[in-house]
Amino acid sequence: MLESTVFVDEPVWLVIIKSAFVIFIVVTAFAYLLLAERKLIGRFQVRYGPNRAGPFGLLQPLADVVKLVFKEDFVPAGANRVLFVMAPVFTVVAAIGAIALIPYGDGTAELFGQEFNLVGADINVGILFLFALSGIGFYSLILAGWASGNKYSLLGSARTAAQLVSYEVAMGLSIIGVVMMAQTLSLVEVVNAQQDALWYIVFQPLGFLIFLVAGVAETNRAPFDLPEAESELVAGYHTEYAGLKFAMFFLAEYVNIIIISAFGATLFLGGFDGPFLPGFLWLAVKVSVLLFLFIWLRATLPRLRYDQLMAFGWKVLLPLATLNLIITAIVVALGFAN
């Protein structure tokens, strides 16, 4: 029997403070994830990363922001002006909104004498809601390419749509195994189920690997960065974007990497569960390990051809995800997973 986490009613001012704090953490994490990636890739390639802006290069994210703010921001003559401007907004809202569903602690804590929940929102279909937000984010990328009025941007959008269809199915099937074992779509209850037993990476190693590979494709990261392949499409769906609009796409990409890592840590690695340390530190450690894997893959693997990417999605990942689902169903039906 799963233990249900106790939730308290929060006043509006506390919800606003929590939201502002989460957005601040996410934006800061995006900036320093980018810096960490550039430094790590530099080390992988036996060279220095950024080390000029501030001590140890720590002010490089600030320098990048200032540069993007002062770059010329324009709308192409043949573009749909309204959709061109709104597309990056949609992708940022969808990315940051998903953070609210990730539980970062057990139960409640106290701030200014007021208890608050250690999760933004625990809804009983949290996993489905995350997939819905992911779809909105992809829709904004498709919209950006179409609204730009540029053939390279349009090709990037078409690739984004095809990639979404290919890998979203495998990712969904890999997660269904976790849902079957936890008997819930609530992320908080999934973590609670792992506290009562073992982390689901033990029962779902194949599902975890499929989720990781599909997650890399979901975030358009190397070696699956075909929608923005500069050697073929200049920059894909964001070819015509500059200044703050381009920065918003960049922000959404890295926030999505953090979301996928937090999602994977919650589903397969016990989320905030762990001994000795506070729950949010355990979650941060697990997310950091998965983020390192994203960076490692980018530094190691070359970009696939488009036909290789599609074949891998439909002919390898999808059959493996289906096999994992069938095995999980048998194990759960026989009661071996309890």
Mean pLDDT in the chain? Answer: 86
pLDDT higher than 50, residue 4: no
Q: Is the pLDDT of residue 198 over 70?
A: yes
Out of 22-31, 152-161, 266-275, the most confident range is 266-275
Mean pLDDT across the stretch 281-303? 93
Asked if residue 53 is part of any domain, the answer here is no
Q: Is 114 left (phi over 0), alpha (psi -120 to 50) or beta?
A: beta
Q: Could you tell me if residue 238 is inside a domain? A: yes
Quote the longest CA-to-CA distance of the chain: 63
Residue 135 is assigned to a structural domain of this protein: yes
Q: Is residue 250 part of a domain?
A: yes
Residues 6+ apart with CB under 8 A from 149: 76, 77, 78, 79, 80, 240
State the residue range of the domain holding 126.
74-106+121-333
Residue 328, number of CB atoms within 10 A of its CB: 23
Round to the nearest angstrom and report the end-to-end CA distance of the chain.
10
pLDDT of residue 109: 75
How confident is the model over 10-57, as pLDDT tens digits?
777 777 787 788 778 888 888 889 999 999 999 998 888 888 888 888
How far is residue 302's CA from residue 290's CA, in Å, rounded to a whole number? 19
Among the ranges 93-107, 147-161, 169-183, which has the highest mean pLDDT value?
169-183
**Residue 114 maps to a domain:** no
Structural domains in the chain (count): 1
pLDDT at 236: 79
Within a domain: 29: no
Q: pLDDT grade, residue 1 (50/70/90)?
A: very low
Q: What is the pLDDT of residue 205?
A: 94
Domain-embedded: residue 54: no
pLDDT band at residue 8, thresholds of 50, 70 and 90?
low
Question: If we measure between CA atoms, which residue out of 208, 205, 203 comes closest to residue 337?
Answer: 203
Question: pTM for the complete prediction?
Answer: 0.91
36 found inside a domain: no
